[in-house]
Amino acid sequence: MVLKVFFPSCCSWADSGIVVGRWVPEQSSAVVLAVLHFPFIPAQVRQYLSQVQRVTGVSVAVLGSWSNSREEKEERLSEFLEDLGTIFSHEPWIQISKEGDSKFWSCSTLQTHSKNPKKEEIILVYYDQRKVMLSHLHPPLDAAACPEHRAGAASKLSAIFDTVGKSKILFMTDRYDDGPIKMTHWQSDGVEASIIVELMKQASVPACMLLSCLLWLISGLCQSRVLKVWPLSFLWSKLSTCEQLGHRLQHLQAISSSTKAQNHTQLMRKANIFVSLLIDVALGILLMSWLYRKNRIGHLADTLIPVADHVAEELQDLLQWLMGAPAGLKMNRALDQVLGRFFLYHIHLWISYIHLLSPFIEMILWYVGLSACLGLTVALCILSDIIALLTFHIYCFYVYGARLYCLKICGLASLWRLFRGKKWNVLRQRVDSCSYDLDQLFIGTLLFTILLFLLPTTALYYLVFTLLRLLVVVVQGLIHLLVDLIDSLPLYSIILRLCRSYRLA
Amino acid sequence: EERGYRSASGAPITLRRRQHSASCRELTVRCPRLQLRSLSAVTSAVWLAAYGLFVLSENSMVLSAAIFITLVGLIVYLHFVKIDQESLLVIGSLGIQVTSSYASGKESTTFIEMGQVKDVVINEAIYMQKVIYYLCILLQDPGDPQGVSEVVPLFQSSKPRLDCLIEVYKSCQEILEQRKTTPQSS
Residue A175 in domain: yes
CA distance A260 to A84: 45
CA distance A48 to A42: 10
Residue A74 in domain: yes
Q: Do B93 and A152 touch (CB under 8 A)?
A: no
Q: What are the CB-based long-range contacts (under 8 Å, 24+) for A116-123?
A: A120/A2, A120/A3, A121/A2, A121/A3, A121/B21, A121/B22, A121/B23, A122/A2, A122/A3, A122/A4, A122/A5, A123/A2, A123/A3, A123/A4, A123/A5, A123/B21, A123/B23, A123/B24, A123/B91, A123/B93, A123/B94
Q: What is the pLDDT of residue A106?
A: 75
CA distance A166 to A150: 21
Which has more pLDDT, A489 or A95? Answer: A489
User: Which residues in B lie closer than 8 A to residue A26 (C-beta atoms)?
Assistant: 185
Q: What are the CB-based long-range contacts (under 8 Å, 24+) for A365-369?
A: A365/A297, A365/A300, A365/A301, A365/A304, A366/A297, A369/A288, A369/A291, A369/A292, A369/A297
Q: What is the pLDDT of residues A354-399, one digit of tens each?
A: 888 888 888 888 888 888 888 888 889 988 998 888 888 889 889 9
CA distance B44 to B58: 20
Give the closest of B93, B116, B142 to A1, CB-based: B93
Both A303 and A428 in a single domain? Answer: yes
Q: Do B23 and A155 touch (CB under 8 A)?
A: no
Residue A216 in domain: no
Q: What is the pLDDT of residue A191?
A: 57
This complex has an ipTM of 0.71
Q: Which of the listed residues A184, A199, A228 is the one where a domain comes to its end?
A: A184
What lies within 8 Å, CB to CB, of A268 at 6+ separation is A490, A492, A493
Give the closest of B93, B142, B182 to A153, CB-based: B142
Q: Which one, of A269, A268, A264, lies nearest residue A141 by Cα?
A: A264
> What is the number of other CB atoms lying within 10 angstroms of the CB of residue A355?
12
Number of structural domains found in chain A = 2
Q: What is the pLDDT of residue B102?
A: 92
Give the closest of A3, A121, A156 to B113, CB-based: A156
Both A177 and A324 in a single domain? Answer: no
Give how far A95 is from chain B: nearest CA, Å.
19
Both A344 and A467 in a single domain? Answer: yes
Is it true that domain B2-33+82-181 has CATH number 3.20.20? no
What's the pLDDT band for A152 if we cut at 50, 70, 90? very low
pLDDT exceeds 80 at position A325: no
DSSP A371: G
Q: Which one, of A466, A448, A361, lies nearest residue A410 by Cα?
A: A448
pLDDT exceeds 70 at position A150: no
Domain positions in chain B are 2-33+82-181, 36-81
User: Is there a cis peptide before residue A92, judged by omega within 30 degrees of 0?
Assistant: yes
Domain of residue A44, CATH code = 3.40.140
Q: Which of A26-30, A262-266, A399-403 has the highest mean pLDDT?
A: A399-403
Q: What is the pLDDT of residue B183?
A: 54
DSSP B78: I
Mean pLDDT of chain B: 88
Question: Region B84-104: what's the mean pLDDT?
Answer: 89
Supply angle C-alpha A9, A10, A14, rounded to 5.
Answer: 115
Q: What is the pLDDT of residue A148?
A: 44
Q: Which of A192-206, A462-476, B12-26 has the highest mean pLDDT?
A: A462-476
Q: What is the pLDDT of residue A143?
A: 43
Q: Do B143 and A125 touch (CB under 8 A)?
A: no
Which residues lie across from A443 on neighbouring strands?
none
Give how far A109 is from chain B: nearest CA, Å.
14
User: Which residues in A lie closer than 8 A to residue B143 (C-beta atoms)?
Assistant: 145-146, 149, 153
pLDDT exceeds 90 at position A171: no
Q: What is the pLDDT of residue A190?
A: 57
CA distance A137 to A155: 10
Residue A301 in domain: yes
User: Is there a cis peptide before residue A39, judged by omega within 30 degrees of 0?
Assistant: yes
**Cα–Cα distances in Å, from B22 out to A2, B93, B175?**
11, 12, 8
Q: What is the pLDDT of residue A479?
A: 94
Both A310 and A454 in a single domain? Answer: yes
Q: Do B186 and A28 touch (CB under 8 A)?
A: yes
Q: What is the pLDDT of residue A120?
A: 67
What's the CA dihedral at A110, A113, A114, A119 to 10 degrees?
20
Give how far B117 is from chain A: nearest CA, Å.
12
- Give the DSSP H/E element, type plus range, for residue A435: none
Q: What are the CB-based long-range contacts (under 8 Å, 24+) for A494-498?
A: A495/A275
pLDDT exceeds 80 at position A485: yes
Q: Which one, of A60, A62, A68, lies nearest residue A96 by Cα?
A: A68
CA distance B36 to B41: 8
Q: Are B135 and B116 in contact (CB under 8 A)?
A: no
Both A479 and A344 in a single domain? Answer: yes
pTM here? 0.69
Q: What is the pLDDT of residue A71?
A: 58
User: Which residues in A lie closer than 8 A to residue B24 (C-beta atoms)?
Assistant: 123
Give how far B69 is from chain A: nearest CA, Å.
26
- Give the DSSP H/E element, type plus range, for residue A160: helix A157-166
- Give the DSSP H/E element, type plus range, for residue A368: helix A361-370
Q: What is the pLDDT of residue A138?
A: 57
User: Which residues in A lie closer than 8 A to residue B22 (C-beta atoms)?
Assistant: 121
CA distance A90 to A111: 9
Which has more pLDDT, B122 or A162? Answer: B122
User: Which residues in B lie closer than 8 A to residue A28 (C-beta atoms)?
Assistant: 93, 186
Q: Which domain holds residue A22?
A: 2-184
Residue A82 in domain: yes
Both A165 and A303 in a single domain? Answer: no
Residue A94 in domain: yes
CB pairs under 8 A between A and B: 44
Q: Which one, of A234, A233, A239, A236, lies nearest residue A385 by Cα?
A: A239
